[in-house]
């Protein structure tokens, strides 16, 4: 993950090796390289420009006589700014209601269903929750089956109504079922399309309005780079979601989505998916991700 970006950044910092101090010229040269590396990692153009502008200002501003070498100073500033770019602090999910309700949104293939299973498992094991998974995809019977298989693997029951064509009602019924049977967490997996369409957006918006979830999460494939960011923007306009789940970070992703999404939609990344297995999920920690990027 991000290997290319890490290498490129490391190379940019080399420009400052052996320099006695930071100057307008060597900073400009370094940051030209940094910006190119970010753009090649598919970071949004404006995000990359603002990033290097901020780093430049800080580097020149902190250019007092210190014991810190220019290259070390630059690495530290880039680290801090990468952390900020990805949201600064770790963003937690907030589950207030009983049962608490989490709604999943995103395109088909983004990893929604897999993440629903992963999250149910994680919250059951780590937070002692009693989850109920809900299959709200009324278009693909295979989607219900897939969630059931995942449910079995993580030992969490799945609520579904195979005959129903009304996802809003299924979600509401599932919450009633959870109340009646003492589940304290309801995770609603919804239908996704291959591309954004009006009907799908209306449907998920209607589900959200009806069930008023504690958390609406937007799940997106990190491998899709700038498309991930554009899709996030469109979903956010309709759903005003609480957080992003970036999946497939184990793949050959260049990093653009992870670095741009926070700034573009102003919503935090809360979780990352790092594999197909059900334990391949982590909370997203911006500072740790910056550590990894800078190697």
In the bound state with ligand GDP, the residue whose beta carbon lies nearer, of 74 and 119, is 119
Q: Shortest approach of ligand GDP to residue 21 CB, angstroms?
A: 44
Which parts are annotated binding residues? 106-113, 189-193, 247-250
Q: DSSP string covering 106-133, please?
A: --TTSSHHHHHHHHHHHHHHHH---EEE
Which parts are annotated binding residues for GTP? 106-113, 189-193, 247-250
In the bound state with ligand GDP, the residue whose beta carbon lies nearer, of 81 and 282, is 282
Q: Shortest approach of ligand GDP to residue 274 CB, angstroms?
A: 6
In the bound state with ligand GDP, the residue whose beta carbon lies nearer, of 247 and 260, is 247
Q: Shortest approach of ligand GDP to residue 115 CB, angstroms?
A: 6
Q: Shortest approach of ligand GDP to residue 121 CB, angstroms?
A: 13
In the bound state with ligand GDP, the residue whose beta carbon lies nearer, of 30 and 231, is 231
Find the residue with minimal CB distance to ligand GDP. 273
For ligand GDP, the binding residues (CB under 6 A) are: 106, 108-114, 192, 247-248, 250-251, 273-276, 280
């Amino acid at each position: 993950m991000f290997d290319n970006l890490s290498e490129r950044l490391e190379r940019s910092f080399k420009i400052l090796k052996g320099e006695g101090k930071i100057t307008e010229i060597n900073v400009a040269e370094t940051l030209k390289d940094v910006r190119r590396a970010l753009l090649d990692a598919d970071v949004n153009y404006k995000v990359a420009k603002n990033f290097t502008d901020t780093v430049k200002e800080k580097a020149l501003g902190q250019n007092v006589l210190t014991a810190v070498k220019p290259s070390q100073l630059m690495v530290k500033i880039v680290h801090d700014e990468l952390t900020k770019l990805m949201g600064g602090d770790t963003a937690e999910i907030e589950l207030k209601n009983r049962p608490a309700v989490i709604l999943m949104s995103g395109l088909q293939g983004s990893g929604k269903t897999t993440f629903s299973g992963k999250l149910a498992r994680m919250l059951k094991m780590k937070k002692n929750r009693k989850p109920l998974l809900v299959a709200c995809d009324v278009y693909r019977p295979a989607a219900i089956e897939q969630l059931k298989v995942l449910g079995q693997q993580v030992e969490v029951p799945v609520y579904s109504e195979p005959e129903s064509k009304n996802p809003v009602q299924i979600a509401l019924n599932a919450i009633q079922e959870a109340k009646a049977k003492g589940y304290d967490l309801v995770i609603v997996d919804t239908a996704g399309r291959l591309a954004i369409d009006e009907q799908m957006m209306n449907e998920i918006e209607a589900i959200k309005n009806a069930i008023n979830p504690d958390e609406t999460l937007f799940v997106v494939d990190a491998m899709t780079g700038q498309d991930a960011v554009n899709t996030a923007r469109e979903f956010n306009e309709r759903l005003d979601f609480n957080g992003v789940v970036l999946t497939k970070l184990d793949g050959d992703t260049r990093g653009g989505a992870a670095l741009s999404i926070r700034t573009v939609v102003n919503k935090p990344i809360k979780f990352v998916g790092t594999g197909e297995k059900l334990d391949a999920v982590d909370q997203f920690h911006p500072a740790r991700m910056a550590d990894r990027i800078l190697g």
